């Protein structure tokens, strides 16, 4: 009887030991199981997001693409083919945090923006631009057609703008060219923009900004400048590059710890350490853009007035104070049939937009109303 009990205890102990060993082996195998491609990619994305200070990931998942146009098929493979593996020959622009390529996709000409994977703000910039543009529908806002995410690569697909950026027309103009030969993306010189076309472009940008600021939750672009204004075949202006854009609530402000924008276009309050983004900061940047459109001068380069070098804004204020508006115009603008009263009205609007005190700047809705009064 005693030997039988001992045998039973020994058998039970053996079974328990075997069970423990099997469980232990299962646990070890689970820990060493090779992760799937999706889990590895998501882990990398999570690590990158956390390293940039994000506490949670966007709803955008890794290895994902979407088309907002039923006629377009968008995937990484198709974009690689369409851009000839992102050939330097197809580069048509250098936007914030990445390059822009001209491409043929599903029989349509599109612009593909490829974000720099090493850019510090690349992940956040992609989220902001895609989530903002997807919901916007306005004739003066560039239209997004879709996006693609694959590993560390992030790409946006836009409608293609035949005439390229405003910056290129202001800075690469020559009276030796003609309009037909000046179509983007030619690298050659371009015909100088007429006064009428410049006013039309200014009105278009103003309309786009008024739309953004007039939304139920206003959107602050935060980087209005000539290179972020794209022109279609009819020289209609389209605001682009919403990587720094922010939505704001009823306070019409957005608390930010970082200064956003481009030197020469940023409002004076930034110099005083006020980094809160407001619609009036956009108005200031637009005012600088108005000066650049009319004068052809870069905002961050010095100009000379009364023998002193000053930045564009200070130069413009001094010239307007001396009633020298006609002298401020780009030398390439034809003076024939140009009404001095309209030129003065234009610079009056610009001057109000670049007021040192933000509350004294007009709303973009008011700017649209004033610019529409200028006929040429």
pLDDT of residue 298: 93
Q: Provide the β-strand partners of residue 150.
A: 153
- The set of residues, in sequence order, having a beta carbon less than 8 Å from that of 316 and lying 6+ positions away, is 291, 295, 328, 347, 350, 351, 354
Q: At what angle do helices 279-295 and 195-213 cross, to 10 degrees?
A: 170
**Catalytic site includes residue 223:** yes
Torsion (CA) 196, 202, 204, 206 in degrees, nearest 10: -150
d(CA 14, CA 230): 78
d(CA 151, CA 122): 13
Residues of the chain with pLDDT under 50: 29-58, 120, 175-187, 250-257, 259
Among candidate residues 94, 172, 223, 282, the one labeled active-site is 223
pLDDT of residue 245: 80
**How far from 208 is each of 19, 41, 161, 201, 244, CA to CA, in Å?**
70, 38, 16, 11, 16
- Taking Cα atoms as reference points, which of 58, 228, 202, 221 lies closest to residue 131? 58
pLDDT of residue 64: 82
d(CA 75, CA 155): 10
Largest Cα separation within the chain, whole Å, is 124
| Domains of the chain, each with CATH number or no CATH | 64-159 (3.30.200.20), 166-371 (1.10.510.10)
pLDDT of residue 57: 39
Mapping DSSP to helix (H, G, I), strand (E, B) and coil, where does residue 95 land?
strand
d(CA 332, CA 175): 7
pLDDT of residue 58: 45
Q: CB neighbours (10 Å) of residue 191?
A: 18
Query: 301-339: per-residue pLDDT in tens?
Result: 888 888 888 889 999 999 999 999 999 999 999 988 799
User: What is the reported pTM?
Assistant: 0.76
% of residues, the chain, pLDDT over 90: 46
């Amino acid at each position: 009887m005693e030997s039988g009990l001992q045998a039973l205890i020994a058998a039970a102990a053996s079974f328990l030991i075997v069970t423990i060993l099997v469980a232990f082996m299962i646990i070890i195998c689970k820990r060493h199981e090779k992760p799937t491609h999706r889990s590895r990619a998501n882990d990398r994305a999570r690590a990158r997001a956390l390293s940039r200070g994000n506490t949670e990931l966007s709803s955008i998942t890794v290895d994902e693409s979407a088309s907002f146009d039923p006629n377009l098929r968008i995937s990484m493979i198709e974009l690689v083919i369409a851009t000839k593996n992102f050939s330097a020959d197809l580069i048509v622009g250098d936007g914030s945090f990445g390059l822009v390529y001209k491409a043929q996709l599903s029989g349509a000409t599109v612009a593909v923006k490829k974000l720099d994977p090493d850019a510090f703000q690349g992940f956040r910039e992609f989220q902001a631009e895609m989530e903002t543009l997807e919901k916007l529908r306005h004739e003066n806002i560039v239209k997004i057609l879709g996006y693609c995410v694959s590993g560390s690569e992030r790409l946006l697909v836009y409608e293609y703008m035949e005439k390229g950026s405003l910056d290129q027309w202001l800075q690469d103009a020559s009276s030796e060219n003609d309009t037909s030969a000046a179509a983007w993306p030619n690298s050659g010189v371009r015909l100088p923009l007429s006064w009428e076309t410049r006013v039309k472009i200014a009105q278009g940008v103003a309309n786009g900004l008024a739309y953004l600021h007039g939304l139920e939750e206003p959107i602050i672009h935060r980087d209005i400048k000539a290179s972020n204004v794209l022109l279609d075949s009819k020289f209609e202006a389209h605001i682009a590059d919403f990587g720094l854009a922010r939505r704001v609530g009823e306070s019409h402000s957005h608390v930010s710890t970082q200064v956003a924008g481009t030197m020469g276009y940023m409002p004076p309050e930034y110099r005083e350490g006020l980094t809160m983004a407001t619609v009036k900061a956009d108005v200031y940047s637009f005012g600088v853009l108005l000066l650049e459109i009319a004068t052809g001068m870069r905002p961050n380069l010095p100009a000379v007035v009364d023998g002193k070098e000053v930045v564009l804004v200070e130069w413009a204020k001094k010239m307007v104070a001396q009633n020298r508006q006609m002298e401020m115009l780009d030398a390439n603008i034809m003076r024939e049939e140009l009404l001095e009263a309209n030129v003065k009205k234009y610079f009056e609007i610009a001057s109000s937009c670049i007021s040192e005190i933000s509350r004294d700047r007009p709303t973009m809705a008011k700017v649209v109303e004033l610019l529409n009064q200028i006929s040429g």
